[in-house]
Structure formats: structure tokens, C-alpha cells
Amino acid sequence: MEAKKTQILDLCDEELVHPGNRGCAGCGLNILYRIGLKAIGEDAILVVPPSCLTVVQGLYPITCSQVSVLNVTFASTAAAASGVRAALRAQNNDHTKVVAWAGDGGTADIGLQALSGAIERGEDILYICYDNEAYMNTGVQRSGTTPRGVLTANTSIGGKRERGKDVAAIVAAHNPAYVATCSAAYPLDFHDKIAKALSMKGFKYIHAHTPCPPGWQMEERIAVSVARLAVTTGLYVLYEIENGQMKLSEPSAKLLGKKKLPPVSQYMQAQGRFRALTPADIDSIQNEIDTKWAGYRRQMTSAAA
């Protein structure tokens, strides 16, 4: 049976993230951090490598975070989280949650082998990767998940030439307990997926798409609506994988019924970072999306038959 979906009024009123932190105005990560901590609660230890989240958490002696955070080196997030879990086990503590929360650079590039090792060992941790598609807090350098054609500080002519890695698929290939994708435009979906993941034993992974106004070169106020466009145009797909079974989440599942998806050019044109793309490039991205969704529709009809 499907668990009841959380509504805005059901969310915990207590705030675990304080205002006046160092996050940029309109930060998508900040939205998910706030709502995510409501699902995680105070009985948790967060393990965070260098990332925008470290910047948000702030400098000694004040932090915005009401939950305990352990700051670790870039490459060691999942390994350090495994160690925290082992320490808790030695204390016979099975109630405190261990949550690793890293950026796309710390997950897709620098922390990938520690992540892969921890999934393979089946560590009982939740790993959340917030994906703003570049190394944002150091000044927008390309990362492994930066999409093709994006202008960054070190792909400033013609944009990035390579495709972005699909980290959720890399993780899913390890067959962990739970894999899900989320977006800052759907914080309640993120909240429910965290709650579900934390109710499970074993390794859980959540990949969250978070808009970054300075890095994506857009106005702060449209951050959430642009993140929503990524989902409604079918470019970024929200799903969960349990026991090897993939299921589209509600915002993406709605697209299955549509004959034609809204053009992805809407999403690209709202941001300055895609301005190096030619109309032909955008057409080829649109074709990839259409092929991907044709595949989903076939899977769903064959599953129903």
C-alpha cells in the first residue's frame, strides 16, 4: 500500500536550520536542507564533505544547523559515514540516523570510490547528493554531472563538451536497498522519500536536483520554477528504485499520459549557462528526451499487459 503523502500542513513546524546563514539568495539546496532536516529530525549525525552545504552551515563558532554535523575530507564522505555508523553500533545505538549529504562534485567525482565501497558493503546509511551541476561554491567549475554544453568557469568557450554522469544509475547498478531522485521544486516528495529511506535498513541513496541562481545564471526568484521545468519537460526524471523495480514518482508519472512533452528549450532559455547551445543542440537534447520517454511508456504498457 502506498504511504500517505505529506502535505504542507503536516510538516513539522520546528525549524532545524537557522536564518542568516551564508547560502546565496534563492539557493535550491537551502530549501531541501530545511525540509530534509524536518524529515531526518534531531537524532541524527550528518556527514558533510567540502561543498556548498559546508558554506551554508557556516564558520566557527556559529552554525545554522541544529543537527550534529561532522565535516570530513572531500573523498571520504561515505567511508566516514560508515565509520560513524560503526561507532554507533559499538555503543549499541540503533536509533541515531547517519546521513551523508554531499554535493555533485563530492559524489560523482571525488567521493565516488568511497561511495561505491560503502554501497557494496551494504552500510546502513542514507546518502544524499544534491546536484547543482557544477562546483558552485568555488566559483562554478565543471563537475562530472555538469550537462553537455553548459558554460562554467573552465568550460567558458562553447560549453562543456562531455555528457554528465548519471550518478543515480551508477548507484542503482550496485543494487542498494533504495535509490530515489528528487528536485528542489518538489520538497514534499523529498521529505517523503527521506522518511521512507530512513525506515529501511541498508544503503539508501537520494539524488536531488537543486537550482543555483549564480551558477545557472538566472534570477533568484525563478530558481524553483526553473527546477520545476526540468521535471515537467521530462529532462530530469523523478523515480524510486526498490528491489530493482523502478517506479516513476508522481510529478514525472503525470507525464506518461501526455502525447507530447513541453519543449525542453523553455528550461534552457531561462538560464544563461546554456547560451552556447545552438538550436540543433537543443533539438538533439529534445530527441534524447523523447526517446527516453517513449521507452518509459513502452515499459509501462508492457508492465500493464
| Binding footprint of other proteins on the chain (CB under 8 A) | 8-9, 11, 13, 15, 17-28, 30-31, 34-35, 57-66, 187-188, 213, 219-225
Q: What is the closest distance, in whole angstroms, from the C-beta atom of residue 83 to other proteins in the complex?
A: 16
- How many other CB atoms sit within 10 Å of the CB of residue 258? 12
Instruction: In whole angstroms, give the CA distance from residue 305 to residue 301.
Output: 6
Placement of cell 546536484 in the chain: 131
- Nearest CA to 285 among 105, 159, 173? 159
How far apart are CB 17 and other proteins at their closest, in Å?
Answer: 6
Amino acid in the structure at residue 255: L
Q: How far is the CB of 304 from other proteins (least distance, A)?
A: 34
Q: Looking at beta carbons only, is 54 or 286 nearer to other proteins?
A: 54
On the 0-12 / 13-18 / 19+ scale of CB atoms within 10 A, 122 is middle
Nearer CB in complex with other proteins: 109/133: 133
Pick 61 or 244: Cβ nearer other proteins: 61
Report, in Å, the least distance between residue 179 CB and other proteins. 25
**Which CB, 9 or 304, lies closer to other proteins?**
9
**The amino acid at 254:** K
Q: Shortest distance, CB of residue 103 to other proteins, whole angstroms? A: 16
For residues 55 and 63, give the distance between their C-alpha atoms in angstroms, rounded to a whole number: 10
Cα-Cα-Cα-Cα torsion 192, 194, 195, 200, nearest 10 degrees, comes to 130
Cβ-based nearer residue to other proteins, 5 or 18: 18
